A and B are shown apart, each in its own frame.
Chain A
Amino acid sequence: MAVTRFCTRSYRQDLRVFPSPAAKILLVLGGLFLLCLPFMAGRYVVFVLCVCGVSVIGALGLNILTGYTGLISLGHAAFMGIGAYTAAVGAAKAGLPFLAALPLAGIVAAAAGAVVGVPTLRLKGLYLVVTTLAFQFIVEHVIYHWESLTQSDRGISLPPAEIFGLKLDTYESFYYVIVILAVATALFTKNLAMSRTGRALVAVRDRDIAAEIIGIHLAKYKILAFVVSSFIAGVAGALYAYLLGLIGPDHFTFNQSVLYIAMIIVGGMGTVLGSIIGALFMVLLPEVINAVSGPLASAYPILAPRIGGISVTVYGLVIILFLLLEPNGLFGIWIRIKRYWKPWPFTY
């Protein structure tokens, strides 16, 4: 029954973002669940989910650049940092309201993206990676030393976000803003992927010389990828700044960039669902390890002094094992689960 339904999808239906009724139902339920969450869960859980949400937005941005266009960037945290500091300086020093600071952060970060995108047009592969890395470190340096603007170590405190006079000074209220923006970003990315632009980007990733031959303007699409991805990163950074209330140079380091790359790889490169799952996984993994290691250390005191090293080792092992077993990441595992369930109880 399920198999035949799959086969009788019309072309028009296929083009939709959510092709099957099943997907629609799941979406509605998932949406309801997300909306009710703050009322049921404690503040700690809500805070963690807010961080997840911001990471999801950041990961989706990086996915456009690295997953779809194939331009691996180790400078994502720098773009987020630029966005965050723009919002912070705007809100704290210039008194910009939340609804103005957020797009401004995106625009400034997008401009930075263009600045990075242009010189890197000629670079491929690892050369590109290290150039983005150079950008990351230079931005870190500038943030740290431009004291008059960024207040360096002391960081910048942001006033709580306000939308049309409604003060969002609790994690629960800010949660909704993050969720809405995350959903919007996911929809935007999915749409982008299925559009002409998205296909052009993928062509650039797969066979850029051939793409150029058939008329895809490489420079235009590469820069576009940088600009769009950086805009999203900037917005994510600004949300981060409002969420934390106080940002400093240590929030946007090389390690963060690596974390975002890990998110999209572990999640499944080049897919929206993969980026979302990957972001959730990488944010929740340390929390889960912490939640387990705490009681474990109390139950077996001999482990207590060792627990730090153990948690780092476990973190690394989980990543290795995941990728060994399923190089397509968590998304690959999800596809396998779907394929297994679809014809169930038949095996094929």
Chain B
Amino acid sequence: MKRVVRFSAVFMCMLAMTFLGVRGVQAEVGVTDDTILLGSFQDMSGPGAYLGKLCTTTMKVWMGYVNNDLGGIHGRKLDLVVEDNKYDPVLTKTAFNKLVNQHKVFALVMVYGSTPCTAVKDDIKREKIPVFPTMATVQSMFDPMNRYLYWYACSDEDNAIMMVDYIVNDLKPEKFKVGVCYQDDEWGKSALKGLDLACKKYGLKYAAAGYKRGSKNLNTQAMRLKAKGVTHCFYAGYAPVYAALLKEADKIGWKPVFFGDYVTVDPRSFMAGDLADGHYHFSNLGLRSEGVPGWKRLESLFTAAGAEKMLNVPLLPLLWNPMLMLTQALQDCGRDLTREKLIDAIDSIRDFDTGGLGKIEYSPTTRKGTHYYRILQCDAEKKIFVPMTDWRQPSIVWGSKERPASK
């Protein structure tokens, strides 16, 4: 008898625990009379935790701006729930499930990480939840097109082509050989692909050296590129490793002109000191040193929120521009807000003014938000980057015949 009682008690407890997942139903998911619930998964404790902190703070500042300065969106305040995915693909799927099925968010915002985002790509389509935007630097995010997944970052494929364009049309050195040092994953390989396309177009040969993500010993890569006589080298990877590459190149007496990708526009590139001076970088964003109105607003908002340190991150507009566009799109939808209406609203925004922070545009047939870039030059003494060109596109545009979109 005692035993039966004991077992029933345990059974009841287990039964009770399973009601964790039961929730009520809402009109449009995540939208109530006075709140719009947004969600995000961030790497808070894994290898990319630095970015996780940055994104979370930016989202909070943005929500403060919308809720307090703008008075909300048609009488609704924004609310946010963030789940930690530690950059792991399975934990990302779990976090995604939790956000969509348990927290029941309206949309996902500001997610990144090629592996995590790829893992939930199909789930996003199945759940029909807008994800605005993902900053994962892989082409599969927008190609083939997923109606619900918006992408805003820089395409290394675009930038590698632009490097060759710039060398051939602007720099015009007497002799040159192009090469690429890339992080050996999908991100870096897109730079390789871009260089390959450009070299085919101009009839050039190139050299390539890949390194495994996380590796800090670039001795063999630098030596190989030097042995092949590379004079202009594209770099696809993170800023600290870029600094390590600069130091390694200097050590072995290899002095090319580097073209760093958009992530190298970062104070950590200056870890190499004077060695970073004079090299080029790609960017789709406005710079703080230019003093554009967009940056002035960022400065006042972040300082008011006590997060001035984040203003030193040149990539801040990459997070901010889509949030501005999202604000506009939410307002355009009016009081009757649904996920589908939001997507249509985003797709119809043209010539969006970010206050000089960069360009961002989508259409019903494209989820690639960045089309225009500038080439910057590094001034190591003043520790800033200086624009050398106006806003331009690569000579082989994505979607054209030579670079068709996948089916």
Contact = CB atoms under 8 A, between A and B. Distances in A.
Nearest to A40: B18
A333 interface: no
B18 A45 contact: yes
A25 B3 CA distance: 10
A226 to B, nearest CB: 26
Interface stretch (B88-96, B146-154, B315-323): B88-96
Nearest to A169: B126
A181 to B, nearest CB: 18
Given A42-B102, A43-B97, A153-B114, A26 B7 contact: yes
Given A42-B23, A47-B97, A305 B45 contact: no
A254 B7 CA distance: 40
A47 B11 contact: no
Given A41-B20, A154-B140, A311 B45 contact: yes
Interface string B1-42: 001101100010011001111110000000000000000000
Interface in B65-109: 81-84, 86, 88-91, 93-95, 97-98, 101-102
Contacts of B84: 290, 293, 307-308, 311
Contact of B57 (A44, A48, A245, A305): A305
A248 interface: yes
Interface in B35-60: 43-46, 49, 52-53, 56-57
A29 B7 CA distance: 9
Nearest to A21: B3
Overall SS of chain B's interface? helix
A42 B123 CA distance: 16
A250 interface: yes
Interface residues of A, number: 40
Given A40-B18, A244-B90, A250-B89, A294 B44 contact: no
Contacts of A26: 7
Contacts of B53: 305, 308
Interface in A240-257: 244-246, 248, 250-251
B49 A308 contact: yes
A26 to B, nearest CB: 6
Contacts of A309: 45, 49
A51 interface: yes
B332 interface: no
B172 to A, nearest CB: 36
A245 B53 CA distance: 30
A316 to B, nearest CB: 11
Nearest to B91: A286
A173 B97 CA distance: 16
Secondary structure at chain A's binding surface: helix, strand, loop or mixed? helix
B138 interface: yes
Nearest to B86: A286
Interface in A49-64: 51
Contacts of B114: 153
Contacts of A300: none
B22 A40 contact: yes
Contact of A251 (B6, B21, B89, B123): B89
User: Of residues A22, A157, A308, which shows the largest number of chain B Cβ atoms within 10 Å of its Cβ?
Assistant: A308
Contact of A44 (B11, B86, B98): B98
Contacts of B266: none
Contacts of A40: 15, 18-19, 21-22
A154 B118 contact: yes
Given A305-B57, A308-B53, A290 B186 contact: no
B185 interface: yes
B328 interface: no
Interface in B349-405: none
B121 interface: yes
Nearest to B101: A43
B122 interface: yes
A54 to B, nearest CB: 10
A42 B103 CA distance: 11
A312 interface: yes
A86 B150 CA distance: 32
B338 interface: no
Interface in B114-129: 114-115, 118-119, 121-123
A273 interface: no
Interface in A294-348: 294, 304-305, 307-309, 311-312, 341
Interface string B184-203: 01100100000000000000
A309 B84 CA distance: 11
B21 A44 contact: yes
A245 B22 contact: no
A48 B46 CA distance: 20
Nearest to B114: A153
A19 interface: no
A248 to B, nearest CB: 6
B82 A294 contact: yes
A119 B114 CA distance: 37
Contacts of B88: 250
Contacts of A46: 21
B403 to A, nearest CB: 18
Contact of B21 (A42, A250, A304, A312): A42
B95 to A, nearest CB: 8
B186 A246 contact: no
Which residue among B11, B53, B98, B189 has the maximum number of chain A CB atoms within 10 Å of its CB?
Answer: B98
B41 to A, nearest CB: 10
B121 A44 contact: no
Interface of A: 22, 25-26, 29, 33, 37, 40-48, 51, 152-155, 157, 244-246, 248, 250-251, 286-287, 290, 293-294, 304-305, 307-309, 311-312, 341
* 9 closest Cβ pairs, A-B complex: A42-B21, A308-B45, A308-B44, A153-B186, A41-B21, A43-B101, A45-B21, A44-B102, A40-B18
8 contacts: A41-B19, A42-B23, A45-B21, A248-B118, A287-B94, A308-B46, A308-B84, A309-B45
Given A155-B119, A246-B118, A307-B44, 4 more contacts: A33-B14, A40-B15, A45-B18, A248-B115
